[in-house]
A = this chain, B = another copy of it.
């Protein structure tokens, strides 16, 4: 007998196919305590691409002082196939980061904005309003070079300092980022507090503001165990791009096997059960996550990875 499988039972009204936007090498590893060697990072990205993930965010050109885990961004991307069929975006915080990404030959970047005043101050060293002036030249110069730009909006469902974040504030930030020229918004529940009704209301509010589900991706963290339920709620709204990290990497670096991003494998299990196409080889991702857990010296937070280990 092979491994366990979900029985496929479709649900009416859901998309037929979704895109899993893999963030493990970037959002996952930047939040791990361990600093992973360059060759392990490269192998991680290559294994994820080989597993069929259609897009893999490879690293971040944030200053190494802030994210020492990804200080080798330039060396990493130098060894990757940046012109291949699979986009390998990199996070770019500012113009200096963009310069480095351009120099490295990157064709896809992502900027990281804040939905709240406090996080803009603490993480971006700017204000809710001034962040747009900061991102404007980054996006414009990237587009001038034919580089695609995704925009993350962080703290969309709650903020550790401000608590609840008004939905209209998130929509306002998101639409301005699209106005700068971003092709896609990734709506992040950075602290994982959001719940299913909130997800539905946020996607609907974007729709009411003229931003369709084709411009949106959802980025859930599993801090409070809500990530997969929230992904299902977003699917019901017609969302077709989901950020996830192989093995659920990206937990708090100081808590053993704390929950990080929505695990790619747990998402795939649900999609397989729903008969929704994604093109990813689950067993290959699980094998990659088991290998990466050995590199990191801690068990994977993904339930599917644990069950199949």
Contact = CB atoms under 8 A, between A and B. Distances in A.
A210 B226 CA distance: 32
Interface stretch (A19-27, A68-76, A268-276): A268-276
Q: Which of A4, A157, A257, A299 has the most CB of B within 10 A?
A: A4
Contacts of A161: 1
Given A9-B201, A193-B6, A197-B274, A226 B306 contact: no
A174 B237 CA distance: 33
A198 B273 contact: yes
A152 to B, nearest CB: 20
A212 interface: no
A191 interface: yes
Interface string A152-177: 00000110110111000000000000
Given A157-B7, A158-B4, A195-B9, A266 B225 contact: yes
A36 interface: no
Contact of A274 (B4, B195, B306): B195
Contacts of A266: 224-226
Interface residues of A, number: 56
A258 interface: yes
Contacts of A231: 229
Given A225-B302, A269-B224, A273-B197, A7 B263 contact: no
Interface string A204-230: 000000000000000000111110110
Contact of A232 (B196, B273, B275): B196
Contacts of A193: 4-7
A133 interface: no
B6 A273 contact: no
A74 to B, nearest CB: 35
A270 B220 CA distance: 14
A194 to B, nearest CB: 7
Given A304-B224, A306-B258, A198 B7 contact: yes
A10 interface: yes
Given A196-B232, A229-B229, 13 more contacts: A5-B164, A6-B194, A6-B224, A9-B198, A195-B274, A196-B270, A224-B266, A224-B307, A225-B228, A225-B265, A226-B303, A259-B303, A259-B306
Interface of A: 1, 4-11, 157-158, 160-161, 163-165, 191-198, 200-201, 222-226, 228-229, 231-233, 255-259, 263, 265-266, 269-270, 272-275, 299, 302-304, 306-307
10 contacts: A6-B193, A7-B195, A11-B196, A11-B197, A226-B228, A228-B229, A229-B229, A229-B270, A259-B303, A259-B307
